[in-house]
Amino acid sequence: MRWNELDQADCPIARALSILGERWTFMILRDCFFGVHRFEAFQANLGISRTILRDRLAHLVQAGILVQRPYQERPIRYDYVLSAKGKALNGVMLMLGEWGQTAVDGQPETQVRHRHQTCGHVLTPYVACAECGEEVVAKDVRAVRAG
Amino acid sequence: MRWNELDQADCPIARALSILGERWTFMILRDCFFGVHRFEAFQANLGISRTILRDRLAHLVQAGILVQRPYQERPIRYDYVLSAKGKALNGVMLMLGEWGQTAVDGQPETQVRHRHQTCGHVLTPYVACAECGEEVVAKDVRAVRAG
DNA sequence: TATAGTCAGTTTATAAACTAAACTCACTTA
DNA sequence: TAAGTGAGTTTAGTTTATAAACTGACTATA
């Protein structure tokens, strides 16, 4: 399998990564969740090269994860905002942040936290099963690979 | 910020991506969760170049996400297995797969599913708040960025 | 009205990362 | 003895990423 054939893979993780798995893409999306939505702001925040930023934004727009919303004409300029498909990545982002927080050590104490508005607490996210509502831990999950 | 300075970032997502954000790394870990743990098996499964596979495995071992376990001596050969830190990525993997399943369309119906052993159902994972136990949706989360 | 500044790019040259294919080494099995 | 296996390493070539300067269509300031 070559990297650019990942989108045809028979695995949802592989297909997700065909869109998200390139360098910087997750970082751009993280910024989107933080409310960043302009080219210059992404560039200044990430220090990413403009060429790559242009490519990644185009890819995300074409994949339907970001939507371009014009905020001025002459010259036409766009905000890049999360679509529904993009917002659906919220769970992935939260779990990724939680893992980074607890598992990646030796780093300065982070200053980024999330607050759960509905209950008012600082958010500690976990993955639960929609059927039984219980927390899902690795040892209780069995992959079923048909075909 | 350059890509290789990401590990010093003041954001848990950035730090997570300093380890996981390179091409193929997530795919290798996916295979680990499916029970793959030998060099040749990763290589055959992913079709990744051996050079990159070697680099990624070394990086994951050095980051404490995979552990080398010798299964023979003369010549010494290792299984690469998930450490506790690696297993803690389970939630990220599940949410990534769930997103790939529901949000990335136009692809052949996937044949990979998960079963939740404790309740017996096919798993539909969601992210919940440890304080109130409710499902966490994007609009109810506010990032708090100190400093 | 000139001058500078902003925003979202594009261009170009250079550096780093990835890939395929062949090769090595220490064994095992037929 | 010859072939095979498993985990790499080497090499040469291709693809990506990067920094820095440039463009174009404006807007704000002196």
Q: What is the pLDDT of residues A69-120, one digit of tens each?
A: 999 988 999 999 999 999 999 999 999 999 999 988 655 566 668 999 999 9
pLDDT at A36: 96
Helix and strand numbers, DSSP H then E, in chain B: 6, 5
Element (H, E) at A39: helix A39-46
Please state, rounded to an integer, the average pLDDT across all residues of chain A. 92
pLDDT at B143: 80
| Closest chain B residue to the Cα of A19, Cα to Cα | B104
Residues of A in contact with B100 (CB under 8 A): 11-17
Provide the β-strand partners of residue A126: B128
What are the tokens at A55?
């490519």
| CA-based nearest distance A83→chain B, Å | 11
CB contact under 8 A, B12 and A101: yes
pLDDT tens column, B49-91:
999 999 999 999 999 999 999 999 889 999 999 999 999 999 9
Separation between Cα atoms, residue B131 and residue B147, nearest integer Å: 25
Residues of B in contact with A91 (CB under 8 A): 95, 98-99, 125-127, 136
Which runs of consecutive H residues, i.e. helices, occur in chain B?
Answer: 12-20, 25-33, 39-46, 50-62, 84-87, 90-103
| CA-based nearest distance B90→chain A, Å | 6
Q: Where are the domains of chain B?
A: 3-140
Residues of A in contact with B115 (CB under 8 A): 141-142, 144
User: If you classify domain A3-140 with CATH, what class do you get?
Assistant: mainly alpha
CB neighbourhood size of B125 (10 A): 22
Q: How far is the CA of A43 from the C1' of D18 (A)?
A: 13
The amino acid sitting at B65 is I
